[in-house]
Amino acid sequence: MKEDNYDVVIVGAGIAGAILAKELTEKKKRVLLLEAGKASDDYLSYLEVFYTALAKVPNSPYPNNPNAPSQNVLNLGPIPAGAPNLNGYMVQYGPVPFGSDYTRVSGGTTMHWLGHSFRMLPNDFKLHSKYGHGVDWPISYDDLKPFYEKSEWEIGVSADVEDQIYPGMGNNFFGKNYYYPMKSLPASYLDQKVAGGINGMKVKLGKNAYPLSVITTPQGRNSTPNKGYKPIGASWDNNIGQRCEGNSNCVPICPVQAKYNALKTLNKADQKYLTVINQAVASNLIIDPETNRIKGVTYKQYQSAQSSDHTSHTVQGKIFVIAAHAVETAKLLLASSAANSSDLVGRCLMDHPTMLTWGLMPEDIGSYRGPGATSHIPTFRDGAFRKEHSAFIVPVDNWGWLWGEFSPGSDVTRAINQLNLFGKKLRGYLDGFVSRQFGLQFEFEQLPQHANRVTIDPNYLDQLGNYRPVVHYDISDYTRAAMEAAKGVSDMIFAKLGVEDYTELQPRRYRLSPMERGQAIHSRAQGIWSALIAWERTNQIRSLTKTRNHGITKTCTSSDRAACRLLELPILR
């Protein structure tokens, strides 16, 4: 195939790039896919690295690649006043460190995502007109709905429509005959205990009382298939991974590929029409000065992560899709002075700030079994309180105190070193302590803020001479107020369930005096403990997606992102 012959050139082999490659090649379009990281056939080697990694953070299984670096949450730390924190790949100006990471390998960040696949709610699209905050989307939930369905079937989401009851969902949230491709994963024993304890309990936020519910979480993870769907297992042996086995390390890597990753989609692309170049880092977009359209992309190809030796190439095509993740996409556009007459490229960077609370249940709840979370509390995803503070979702954590305390490893260390326990006494102590560990996550909505942004600076380059992302990031009062409200919700739930709160009783805790509650996130940004807390922020990978013709940047979760990409497909028909 001649190099200038591509119908579409895609930068990035993550979920968006893979879905596009699949859809386009099915329509016999010739596609070139450029991927900065390694090829897709290294899954088993990722597992080996993961097994031996000391800190099993989201990027621990994936190669440390100075030619296509990724942020590692172990590098998070406080940001000194007036100077950036340069420890990791990102140049962090703060004032709050941006805590999420992404993975630059074939398959992208779906390699380490948790798999939670929520749809946004109708009111999320009209936040400004409804609650006076943020902005309204130029499209509505109904516009996106068919693409959510398509995405859920591509990802292979397990959920039962009848369980999925959210606030403000309206009466036609799911189409009349819609069903997910697979049945819901069973709620864990722990979920059932929590649901039994708090379902229907009323919690007051502002003037209104909200009844709590605990429902199963839709997730891209194999379970019993519904009609018309066939689960896809491991790439090296489809007999493995046909169902989630409960290995409990979805993040950073599912050992059997029962969890969706974009490689599954990429493998479905019609290989006759697809050319993939790995270890090819896009560095510049070439713009035709006459038409102002992109006509080519320059990439640097390297042979080994250990050496900066590389060759530069330029490819041409009819259409270019930059699907390289929120941060990398913005970087590439900025580096190329492309599409930025609005000065909005790289702005409105978002994350989902997370607060953890944890405590000890009065009885054994079977902690640390199953995927990260099988249920959640949807109650605070929408409501009148959004006039005062942001919405939040509350996953009920199956992994106990892992993120809060690095349990159960830290419990073993403490029992041996401080309590001098060994043998049967040690086992007995851990049996009684670890299996009662309970944790809630509170994940908060962030509004688009212009000052939260990715920029570039010629003083900060990586080994190949490409820009490192320079990040300015803060959490607004609107979100901080939600954190304070959420701690109140947590206290009420703990009281109802008889949970003994350990959130504030441990070293390196964040002290939640009212003044400090909003600071919860960055006051924890010290050392490995807090690094681990950043894990759950990867549940939903946020991405900036340019909506066509509006010049407005919007954020999407990864399943939204897939939907957004599909939405743009009609251009090519």
Any contact of residue 56 with another protein (CB under 8 A)?
Answer: no
Which segment (27-35, 41-49, 461-469, 480-488) binds another protein by CB under 8 A?
41-49
Measured CA to CA, the distance from residue 8 to residue 321 in angstroms comes to 7
Q: For residue 303, give every residue at least 6 positions away whose Cβ sits within 8 Å of its Cβ, in sequence order, or none.
A: 279, 309, 310
Measured CA to CA, the distance from residue 524 to residue 509 in angstroms comes to 7
Which is nearer to another protein, 150 or 268 (by Cβ)? 268
Which is nearer to another protein, 72 or 235 (by Cβ)? 235
Rg of the chain (C-alpha set): 23
* Shortest Å distance, C-beta 433 to another protein: 23
Two tokens, residue 345: 């490229």
Measured CA to CA, the distance from residue 201 to residue 59 in angstroms comes to 39
Measured CA to CA, the distance from residue 90 to residue 69 in angstroms comes to 9
Indicate which single residue of 26, 27, 44, 413 sits in contact with another protein (rule: CB under 8 A): 44
Q: Is 426 helix (H, G, I), strand (E, B) or coil?
A: helix
Which is nearer to another protein, 50 or 460 (by Cβ)? 50
Which is nearer to another protein, 226 or 312 (by Cβ)? 226
Taking CB under 8 A as the criterion, which residues in 425-454 touch another protein? none
Any contact of residue 319 with another protein (CB under 8 A)?
Answer: no
Which is nearer to another protein, 230 or 272 (by Cβ)? 230
Any contact of residue 41 with another protein (CB under 8 A)?
Answer: no
* Shortest Å distance, C-beta 50 to another protein: 11
CA 435 → CA 400, 430, 431, 467, distances in Å? Answer: 8, 8, 6, 46
Taking CB under 8 A as the criterion, which residues in 90-129 touch another protein? none
Which is nearer to another protein, 236 or 422 (by Cβ)? 236
* Shortest Å distance, C-beta 551 to another protein: 47
Indicate which single residue of 47, 139, 287, 430 sits in contact with another protein (rule: CB under 8 A): 47
Any contact of residue 184 with another protein (CB under 8 A)?
Answer: no
Any contact of residue 48 with another protein (CB under 8 A)?
Answer: yes
Beta bridge partners of 356: 441
The shares of helix, strand and coil residues in the chain, as percent rounded to the nearest 5, are 30, 20, 50
* Shortest Å distance, C-beta 34 to another protein: 29
Strands 470-473 and 91-95: parallel
Q: For residue 215, give every residue at least 6 positions away whose Cβ sits within 8 Å of its Cβ, in sequence order, or none.
A: 163, 164, 165, 375, 376, 377, 378
Give the helix ranges, DSSP H, for 95-158.
Answer: 127-131, 141-155
* Shortest Å distance, C-beta 302 to another protein: 28
* Shortest Å distance, C-beta 92 to another protein: 37
How many residues contact another protein, by CB under 8 A? 14
Which is nearer to another protein, 56 or 243 (by Cβ)? 243
Q: In what order do the strands lie in the sheet with 280-287?
A: 274-277, 31-34, 6-11, 310-322, 294-302, 280-287
Any contact of residue 271 with another protein (CB under 8 A)?
Answer: no
* Shortest Å distance, C-beta 402 to another protein: 21
- For helices 15-26 and 558-567, give the axis angle rounded to 10 degrees: 30
Site string for another protein, 213-252 (x = CB under 8 A): -----------xx-----x----xxxxx-xx-x-------
* Shortest Å distance, C-beta 506 to another protein: 32
- For helices 15-26 and 141-155, give the axis angle rounded to 10 degrees: 90
CA 28 → CA 2, 8, 21, 23, distances in Å? Answer: 16, 11, 10, 9
* Shortest Å distance, C-beta 411 to another protein: 22
* Shortest Å distance, C-beta 231 to another protein: 7
Which is nearer to another protein, 234 or 321 (by Cβ)? 234
Q: Is 506 helix (H, G, I), strand (E, B) or coil?
A: coil
Which is nearer to another protein, 43 or 147 (by Cβ)? 43
* Shortest Å distance, C-beta 453 to another protein: 43
* Shortest Å distance, C-beta 365 to another protein: 18
Which is nearer to another protein, 239 or 420 (by Cβ)? 239
Any contact of residue 353 with another protein (CB under 8 A)?
Answer: no
| Residues, the chain | 573
Any contact of residue 516 with another protein (CB under 8 A)?
Answer: no
Which is nearer to another protein, 239 or 291 (by Cβ)? 239
Q: Greatest CA separation found in the chain? A: 78
Q: Is 379 helix (H, G, I), strand (E, B) or coil?
A: helix
Which is nearer to another protein, 50 or 433 (by Cβ)? 50
Measured CA to CA, the distance from residue 132 to residue 128 in angstroms comes to 4
Any contact of residue 421 with another protein (CB under 8 A)?
Answer: no
Footprint of another protein on this chain (CB under 8 A)? 44, 47-48, 224-225, 231, 236-240, 242-243, 245
